[in-house]
Amino acid sequence: MRFTYTAKRRLASGHSVETEYDYVIDGAVIDQDESIESETTTSLDGSMETDFQRIDVFWDVSTDFIETATRLAEFREFLASVAGGEVFTFDPEATDGTAVDEYQVKLVSQRHRRRRIGMLDAYTYSVRMRVQPAA
Give the model's pLDDT for residue 116. Answer: 77
pTM of the model as a whole? 0.86
N-terminal to C-terminal alpha carbon distance within the chain? 24
3-state helix, strand, coil split of the chain in percent (to 5) is 10, 45, 40
CB-based contact 122:67 (threshold 8 Å) = yes
Give the model's pLDDT for residue 40. Answer: 92
Give the model's pLDDT for residue 135. Answer: 67
Give the model's pLDDT for residue 18. Answer: 97
Name the residue ranges covered by the structural domains of the chain.
Answer: 2-35+54-131
Question: What tens-digit pLDDT sequence spans the chain (135 residues)?
Answer: 999 999 999 999 999 999 999 999 999 899 999 999 989 999 999 999 999 999 999 999 999 999 888 999 999 999 999 999 999 999 999 988 788 999 999 999 888 777 877 777 789 999 999 999 886
